[in-house]
Structure 1
């Protein structure tokens, strides 16, 4: 009887698959080239730009592309609308290389189609955070100076009449529009669409997307992501699927089971995260599009609605932040919902606690968990791992994608040896060009071609990466560094816990003290004494939270689903 492969054997299979797929002449072979002043690895078979990616998708014809509520858009219908809007943007607003088109709306189909129209004429898409207030919206518009703003009714009302200097294209708006505004349905009418897109001379290093950092502290910075960067992230996503398949085939051959691989299921992906971030746009939308898949969109995140859509649409891929997966697994409807279509469940945006990796693996009848690591500034994933390879190594975010390089450095910038902990630096073609209009911030973030992630990590001897924490997400208690994620992971082992955020509070004696805000699962019974008993023996006592709040309302999050720890600190900090 065949024995289950060990974790080290699975790692060997994955690394061997990487070597095969990236060899000279292989599909993901690469060459070192100069990009924006840095020597980086560039895929030999890279698609030239995102316009070409969109053009390729026309071959999918009448297949469903977008599903939103009762609305459905085929690839053919989507292309007609994109052509109409692209010609309007070019002829009426002069959109093209070197210009920008801003989009401010919820996850509506119009966001997707507007984004393709703008990029297809060579304009950079400015993805505005739909949670922003009016002053934040005005800051981004002043900073990015778009030739047009495509906006939904809710954000148009929020912006008010003050910005009559920017041409508006409005959608899903019931009120009276400004005299200078046009409706999206009018300018993206498929009945008026020319047969081809406007011509556009796009350089791979032209800006394709500008996404603003979350802005939880300070002024948001617009990360300039080029066509080369976004294309390379897309190819990285394709590579990860191919690598998993190749590693699995190698493992099966080694065990004597050389059966043909099962037919890949259709790509039907749920979009529970915002399109104005790289996870939703670059890692979900773009991947679905190149695969000829279907994107199932949500008005807002709701675990019950997500489960209903998974069953109704036969969703095969769920990519969100970890808390979303946990909410679905803990939801009362989980057991009564047909989730057998799911082949992958996970995502990024935050480290996935190891207990959640196991819960996903146990909870899916046909699928496995997956995780990706990256940042806005890397246009998407820098590492990723899924399926049995992730289950066997749940504390890792996997190896680097082939076009990326990494190193870990100490506080002085000196490179550390494998297994040592320090700041993770990344270099590759999908690193941003810079922060828009912020040369000082760019120079601080990118040093000699290496992007400073601000994440604490270890790289093992085999090149697999382990994210330990954010540099700014460390509590320094009496000179001891306490990594918040370590404490959170231990608390998450309790079934009674739905959400937890660990953070530091000022302490006169120790500098900082560990605090935790805990949201209990429905019907759960847990007190501070039981929590302390659980942590005893799991964590050194200096890591135990000295202040605990047991809450019955969800923790505050930003638009990308991450907990707002600064808001929690302000809420629970002792009065001066």
Structure 2
């Protein structure tokens, strides 16, 4: 039914950039094709909902029409054509989404500049990608407008609001997206790495990557629905799936859902408005728009569950709660099921360079194996290899490698960095440690996070999981700090639950109850909060710099 010959998810092997790769045979070939299909099949279905003082809703048909008008303005007034870069520095707004669609419809490449970057970081982003035009709004636009590269080149900087007005004022607004000859391996976007391990690099994402992001998720969802039928909350058969887009559009989890998944599946995407993630706002919008699926990192879920007004808001309609980038700690899984019985949990493993694809697990399988990020998704291969690049047997820890249609084209104008991470056969070297047991991937740590203490390899994630199970600990992060004799020692940064008090000895005794003595933190530092980047990941580099780690 799903994967047989001629079926929606039929699979075959084709040449992808010189490498045989398993792909879906019945796939769309570009992003504009996704929006075209949505305009035809579900024209009046709500697509984009923007909350705020002046709430606004776009159907798929209206979004298609506005994207065509935006594309006409970019082409006619700014000369944007296939292969050009269009940089955007802005919070999530209607104009950002429409400009995204307009850019990729022209065959141009959307460069997502991190909205929280400093002017120096903005300058690095535009100098690297050399956009034909820079779009923006709010404070990100202010920071990018006067950077040295912009002043030196005279590149036009246009407010997104101005682009919107120009699109609305066209005498003859186009009814179709521009007729551009697109290949599925043409670049569609440049997404910068998060910067937690050094200066951000521009990961070049193709149309194929985006389309695959959608299709593997659809197949996985269909299979899981059949496997777990009757075990979890069910989506009403006549109800539209609704999700909240709290992730920025310059990030995988934002663009992947809004630009790829939503048009294909017919999802309504609710935008909470500018500003940092806020638990009460998420709960309010979940109640108001009857949001059916949540996504976030574990930190987000802890803050939602601990919110004093959690029970005031409707969450019974939430059927799925997904995560990515960090594994659900067992205590968090128990807490979610206690507060939201019947919700299906899901977790996955991927990164910018694979557009978030790699492994995926949810439902009953996740409950049976809570410490894993799951099996490889369809058409993707995952291997754990040793330092010589040779695959390791099950159960042994090594570097995780990923191959499949989701693997990026490479780092923009950085062949050296690209060569360093793409092994023969287009296997992406993730830089993460893991092991495969029973066909499931278990994360151990990022290679750079590995702590080497007196000849012992220590994976921080194991200690972090143990610490957050303590009833008085809200958050925890573990790093290695220098030691003259041992090389490194374990240091834990701990955020206590509100109103609770702990001592370093309390923390060490809790860890020692289940962990080997060399894994017990030698140093414990209590903090009111941990430093997070815009995607919810702890910025360990900052903690290491403060602790004197080179």
Q: TM-score, normalised by structure 2?
A: 0.93
Q: How far apart are the structure 1 equivalents of 2:309 and 2:547?
A: 34
What is the CA deviation profile of residues 63-99 of structure 1, one whole-angstrom value per residue up to 9, with x for unaligned ones? 3222222322222332222111011112223323222
Q: Is 1:34 the equivalent of 2:9?
A: no
Q: Is 1:350 the equivalent of 2:326?
A: yes
Q: Which residue of 1 aligns with 2:237?
A: 263
Q: Which residue of 1 aligns with 2:48?
A: 66
Q: Secondary structure at the match of 1:381?
A: coil
Matches within 5 A, 1:485-496: 485-496=461-472
Q: Which residue of 1 aligns with 2:266?
A: 292
What is the CA deviation profile of residues 124-157 of structure 1, one whole-angstrom value per residue up to 9, with x for unaligned ones? 1111111111111111111111111111131221
Q: Is 1:197 the equivalent of 2:173?
A: no
Q: Which residue of 1 aligns with 2:28?
A: 47
Q: Which residue of 2 aligns with 1:374?
A: 350
Q: Aligned residues, how many? A: 536
Q: Which residue of 1 aligns with 2:338?
A: 362
Contact 2:90 2:96 in 1 (8 A): yes
Contact 1:406 1:425 in 2 (8 A): yes
Structure 1 spans left out of the alignment, 5+ residues: 1-19, 173-182, 253-259
Contact 2:380 2:405 in 1 (8 A): yes
Q: Which residue of 2 aligns with 1:470?
A: 446
How far the C-alpha of 1:242 sits from its partner, in A, is 1.0
Q: How far apart are the structure 2 equivalents of 1:557 and 1:244?
A: 32
Q: How far apart are the structure 2 equivalents of 1:161 and 1:429?
A: 38
- Tell me how large the CA RMSD over aligned residues is: 2.1
Q: Is 1:425 the equivalent of 2:401?
A: yes
Q: Which residue of 2 aligns with 1:106?
A: 91
- The one of 317, 336, 342 equivalent to 1:341 is 317
Matches within 5 A, 1:192-231: 193-231=173-211
Would the alpha carbon gap of residues 136 and 244 (structure 1) be closer, same or farther in structure 2, given more than 3 Å must change?
A: same
Q: Secondary structure at the match of 1:380?
A: coil
How far the C-alpha of 1:524 sits from its partner, in A, is 2.0
Would the alpha carbon gap of residues 190 and 295 (structure 1) be closer, same or farther in structure 2, given more than 3 Å must change?
A: farther
What is the CA deviation profile of residues 259-313 of structure 1, one whole-angstrom value per residue up to 9, with x for unaligned ones? x996274211011222111112114553223222211112220111111111111
Matches within 5 A, 1:142-181: 142-162=127-147, 163-164=150-151, 165-171=154-160
Q: TM-score, normalised by structure 1?
A: 0.89
Structure 2 spans left out of the alignment, 5+ residues: none
Would the alpha carbon gap of residues 515 and 190 (structure 1) be closer, same or farther in structure 2, given more than 3 Å must change?
A: farther
Would the alpha carbon gap of residues 519 and 285 (structure 1) be closer, same or farther in structure 2, given more than 3 Å must change?
A: farther
Q: Which residue of 2 aligns with 1:87?
A: 72
Q: Which residue of 2 aligns with 1:384?
A: 360
How far the C-alpha of 1:218 sits from its partner, in A, is 3.2
Q: How far apart are the structure 1 equivalents of 2:355 and 2:475?
A: 28
Q: How far apart are the structure 1 equivalents of 2:84 and 2:421?
A: 25
Q: How far apart are the structure 1 equivalents of 2:105 and 2:210?
A: 14
Q: How far apart are the structure 1 equivalents of 2:520 and 2:142?
A: 47
Q: How far apart are the structure 2 equivalents of 1:525 and 1:211?
A: 41
Q: How far apart are the structure 2 equivalents of 1:495 and 1:222?
A: 41
Q: How far apart are the structure 1 equivalents of 2:512 and 2:197?
A: 34
Q: How far apart are the structure 2 equivalents of 1:480 and 1:430?
A: 35
Contact 2:380 2:404 in 1 (8 A): yes
Q: Which residue of 1 aligns with 2:225?
A: 245
